[in-house]
Amino acid sequence: MPTGVEVDGRTARRNRNKDAVLDALIEMASEGRAEPPIEDIAERAGVSYRSVYRYFDDRTDLMLSAIARVMGDMWPIFDIEQLGEGPLDERIDRLISVRLTAYRQLAPLTRAAVHLRANEPAVAEGYDHVRDYLRDQLAQQLAPELSVMVESERELVLASLDVMFQFEALDYLAKHDGMDDEAMTRVLARHIRAHLAVG
């Protein structure tokens, strides 16, 4: 009969191997391979193909776990210092800097999440939760300017700004238009100022 030490050892090894699989998938996604073959993930993680399916029910479970891992580890990347405080220029700069940093680091797995969300309610729910959080953050960062507008105008402006900061919009600028962070910053800053009607 296995001893407690043996059971603990097996559990620790299982957890290490499971983490290695997740790390391998996240690394490969960061290299532009959002949905690599299970065989490649297993090889990168140093485990067998069968082991992957001992740790995860299927590919979807693996992807969901990787997305949850990244969002859990990376959530602080969305934090904006002194949210809603300071001159508008500084608030715009901080907002754009944080969003572009998050975009660059999370883009590979976010692309996978966008692909999965149409058929996976759990992915869609998590994705929408992030969207709601970021929209609320946007409203707080630009609260001084939005607060002086009538409600109908405020909602229209907030929606227009929120659209421009969606992952799909940032991905379009970066991938389709080939913009670097400097060019994207100019576009986003101009967009904000135009909708806030400031020079």
Q: How far is CA 99 from CA 10, 52, 195, in A?
A: 41, 33, 18
Enter the pTM of the model. 0.77
Average pLDDT over residues 115-120: 77
Is the pLDDT assigned to residue 199 strictly greater than 70?
A: no
- Alpha-carbon distance of 115 to 117, in angstroms, equals 6
Predicted confidence (pLDDT) per residue in 78-111, tens digit? 999 999 999 999 999 999 999 999 898 888 778 8
Average pLDDT over residues 69-82: 81
Give the rounded distance of the alpha carbon of 6 from its chain centre: 38
Tokens of 52: 């992957």
